[in-house]
Each structure stands twice: as C-alpha cells, then as structure tokens.
C-alpha cells in the first residue's frame, strides 16, 4: 500500500486531536507531525530516518488486566505491536499485531489513538539503529483469555494494570499507558477518545 497526501493529512488531523486531549505531550506530537510531513514514506520500515509502528494495550474484558509479551529481540515485557509495512491504517495494524502475537480470539479495536511514543531501536542483525514512532490503541479482549505464545515472544502473561502502573521496573511508556487507562476507568469523561 502506498501513502498519499490525503492519508497523511488525515493522520495529522488525528495527531492534532490527540494533542488537544493531551496538551502535555505536544513535543511528542510535534515529532510525529514532522515525520509525516517529511519526504519519504513513513509507513515502511525501509525508511531508516524513522518510521511508524503500531501497538496496543490489550485489555481484559473486566478492564483490570493487560496481556504483555516478553519480547524476544528486546528482552522486555511490552505491549504487542509491530511495523506498519506500508499499511496506512495504523489501528488495523495494531489489531493485526495483537491477534498475531497473542492468538486471542474475539479482539476488538477501540477507535482513536490512545498513546504516542517515539523510541530508539538499537542495531540488530545488520539493520541500523533507528527511531520507531509508535501509535498506540486500546484493543479489548473477549471472554476467551487463552493465549498462544508466538515465535516473536519468550512468553505472554496477563498483568494487573494498577500494579503495572506502579512498577518502576517496567518500561516507562507502558506505565504511562497503564496510568492513562486507570484515569479513564476512574473518570471516563476525562479521557474520552473520538471515533477515527
């Protein structure tokens, strides 16, 4: 799939809406806007100046737990996600990656960008170090919480979101997402996500 100016404009609009909800993250949003306005296709991994990825906080049906993957390459407990590989619908990418990495049945994507994170990826097997611009969504699990560990993971585990938010040993951006989720559960109006 090829990106177009119209798709980039639509994504830039969603980024601005995110910035309005999270004014403290305007610097991060600015980095994402710079990426999508720069030359080159930001949806393909071959763009080593930086490219878009998508991931999700996979939330249990009761909203109290999230399913994490012990990432094989990075050796960290993280949310499932991956490269867009040319797909300009990052919500679809996040849902696809959640399905592939967890094997959960009945996953449902919630509309709207939930979180943004730019992080540095070290050199790996001849691929130079580069930036990932990760667009994050909420994916809700159904009633069947049985997962399957894929070849991309050492393991998978359901973790309590409140405990995750308070655990200093966990990835800082994952703790931030957990905090946003807890704030949303306490006051759904405070973190209402628009469609699209």
32-87 pLDDT, tens digit each: 999 999 999 999 999 998 999 999 999 999 999 999 999 777 778 999 999 999 99
Let me know if residue 196 belongs to a domain.
Answer: no
Let me know if residue 148 belongs to a domain.
Answer: yes
Query: Band of the pLDDT at 189, cuts 50, 70, 90?
Result: low
Let me know if residue 153 belongs to a domain.
Answer: yes
153: left (phi over 0), alpha (psi -120 to 50) or beta: beta
Query: What global pTM score does this model have?
Result: 0.90
pLDDT of residue 193: 42
CA-CA-CA-CA torsion sign (45, 139, 63, 23): positive
User: In which domain, by residue range, is 111 found?
Assistant: 5-186
Which residues of the chain form beta strands (DSSP E)? Answer: 51-59, 65-71, 77-78, 81-83, 108-109, 115-121, 130-140, 153-160
Lookup result for tokens 């296709």: 41
Highest mean pLDDT among 71-75, 162-166, 184-188: 162-166
Let me know if residue 84 belongs to a domain.
Answer: yes
First to last CA, the chain: 20
CA-CA-CA-CA torsion sign (100, 91, 179, 143): negative
Let me know if residue 195 belongs to a domain.
Answer: no
CA dihedral 101, 103, 107, 110 (to 10 degrees): 0
Query: Band of the pLDDT at 196, cuts 50, 70, 90?
Result: very low
Nearest-angstrom CA–CA distance, 73 and 68? 15
Let me know if residue 193 belongs to a domain.
Answer: no
Output the domain CATH number for residue 54: 3.90.79.10
Let me know if residue 194 belongs to a domain.
Answer: no
Radius of gyration of the chain (CA): 16
Nearest-angstrom CA–CA distance, 104 and 61? 12
pLDDT at 153 over 80: no
Question: Looking at the 3D structure of the chain, how many domains does it have?
Answer: 1
Let me know if residue 94 belongs to a domain.
Answer: yes
């Amino acid at each position: 799939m090829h990106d177009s100016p119209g798709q980039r404009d639509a994504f830039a609009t969603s980024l601005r809406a995110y910035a309005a909800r999270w004014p403290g993250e305007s610097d991060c949003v600015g980095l994402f806007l710079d990426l999508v306005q720069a030359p080159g296709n930001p949806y393909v991994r071959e763009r080593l100046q930086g490219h878009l990825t998508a991931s999700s906080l996979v939330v249990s049906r009761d909203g109290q737990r999230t399913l994490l993957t012990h990432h094989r390459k990075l050796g960290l407990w993280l949310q499932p996600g991956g490269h867009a590989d040319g797909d300009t619908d990052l919500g679809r990418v996040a849902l696809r990656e959640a399905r592939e990495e967890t094997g959960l049945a009945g996953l449902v994507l919630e509309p709207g960008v939930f979180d943004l994170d730019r992080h540095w990826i070290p050199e790996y097997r001849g691929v130079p170090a580069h930036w990932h611009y990760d667009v994050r969504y909420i994916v809700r699990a159904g009633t069947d919480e049985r997962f399957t560990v894929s070849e991309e993971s050492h393991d998978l585990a359901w973790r309590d979101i409140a405990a995750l938010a308070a655990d200093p040993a966990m990835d800082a951006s994952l703790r931030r997402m957990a905090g946003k989720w807890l704030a949303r559960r306490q006051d759904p109006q405070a973190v209402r996500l628009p469609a699209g």
